[in-house]
Each structure stands twice: as C-alpha cells, then as structure tokens.
Amino acid sequence: MRETSGGAVFARHARGAALLAVAMMLVAPAAMAARGERDAAAEPATRSAPVVRNTVDELKQLMDARQLTELRTTYNGNYGASLLFNANTLTYYVALFQEKNFWRVIKTDAVDNAERVYRTFAQQSEQLAQVYIDTTRLEAGKRYTERLVAYNEERLRTLQQEMEQQQAQSAQVSAALQQAQQQAVSLSSDVQSTNSQLDSLQRRIQILQAEQGNPELSLPKPDSVPSPAPAAASDGR
C-alpha cells in the first residue's frame, strides 16, 4: 500500500483546482454568449407587449387596436363622456375626457354600473363645460362689441366728414346768397332809377302828344286887323 503524504494530496488538489478554473474560463464565454443570444431573441417579444400601467393606458391601447365599440357619447363644449364596450371580454369602459385627453376611465363588467357611471360623467362634463361655454360667449360678445365700436368709429368719422362738407357747402351757399342779395339791391336801385327815367320820359311824351293834338297850338296866331269906322249918319231931308 502506497502512502501519500499531505503535501502530495494538497498538490493534487491544487492542480485539480487549476484545471477546473481553466475549464471554467474556457466554457464561461461560450455560455455567456449563448445566454446573450437567448436574451436577445427574447427581448423583441418582451418589447412588443406594452405594459399596461392603468385603465387610461388600457383604454388607449384598445382604441388603437380598434377593439372597442362606442355605445354612448355626450359632448358639452370641449368636454365629454363616452361609454365603450369590448365585445371580446364583455367589459365596459366609461371615460370622462377633454378634447383628446382622458381625465378618468372606469372599467366594469356590470352594464348597470357602466350606465350609472356614464350618467355621472355626462353631468360632470356639463358642469365642467359651463366655464368654457361662458368664456366662449363672453369672448364672442367682446369681439362683437369691438367690431361694433370700430364700425361706429368709422361711421362717426364719415359723418364728421359729411358735416364738414355740408358746412363748407353752406358757407359757399351763404356767400352766394349774400352776393345775390347785393346784386338784388343794386338791381333794385337801378330799377328805381330806370323807373324814374321812364316816368320822366312818359311825362314828356304825354306833354308832346297833348301839344300835337291841340289845333290852336299847331296854327300861328293871325295879325290883328283894325275895325272899320262907323258910317256917318245922312240927313234925309
């Protein structure tokens, strides 16, 4: 029987450990490479399945996949409520939204609960939209008032221009009227002077006509003839 010392045993164990380490060094890269390939092959499958964090994301994913049927929708301003149904899972989704942003989404399997939540969301959308509706009306009223003010300002400028033109025309008419009145006064004086001349001429004509119609004035006066002496009385004796 061969006796083996402790040092020899330790040496053999040391050599075995060294060989095992070398083998692991040779095998480990291949194993790691194979594991990396398996992880790389499994990664696309993991990425292809989106993670659903909440009911809002779930609703968006189902809508993008066109797996929902719209049963009811109420619009109030830019707010609204919708009742959607997934025919594959017999599940209802009730959403309260503003434009394209979902504020709340409730998922339920009970139709009565879905209808009740839908009516609640519809009432909430009406309350939320009241401020939007009032703001829209006020903005429209403001724009209308601004347009009305601009129209009235333009109308006022037009009327002022027309008034200035009328005043200028009135001044021209007044000046022309004064000139006409002055001409009338001058003509009146001329008429009076002409009438006086006419009267004087008519009087002279009448005098001349009267002289022409009087025979005594037309013949010369005869010379005076002495009257004959009375005959002497004869004595009849």
- Averaged over successive runs of 10 residues, the pLDDT of the chain (237 residues) comes to 36 45 46 47 44 82 95 95 97 95 96 97 95 90 94 93 91 90 88 88 85 66 61 54
Do the domain assignments include residue 39? no
pTM for the whole thing?
0.46
Do the domain assignments include residue 82? yes
Do the domain assignments include residue 223? no
Structural domains in the chain (count) = 1
Q: Are 154 and 111 in contact (CB under 8 A)?
A: no
User: How far apart, in whole angstroms, are the C-alpha atoms of residue 182 and residue 218?
Assistant: 50
User: How far apart, in whole angstroms, are the C-alpha atoms of residue 105 and residue 124?
Assistant: 13
User: How far apart, in whole angstroms, are the C-alpha atoms of residue 130 and residue 103?
Assistant: 17
Do the domain assignments include residue 104? yes
CA distances from 170 to 102, 162, 167, 174 (A): 71, 12, 5, 6
Do the domain assignments include residue 59? yes
pLDDT of residue 208: 83
CA distances from 182 to 17, 61, 175, 178 (A): 144, 98, 11, 6
Do the domain assignments include residue 160? no
pLDDT of residue 204: 87
Do the domain assignments include residue 142? no
Report the amino acid identity of residue 194. T
Domain that holds residue 108: 55-127
Do the domain assignments include residue 95? yes
CA distances from 131 to 61, 102, 114, 136 (A): 31, 19, 27, 8
CATH number of the domain to which 62 belongs: 3.30.720
Torsions phi, psi of 69, nearest 5? -115, 130
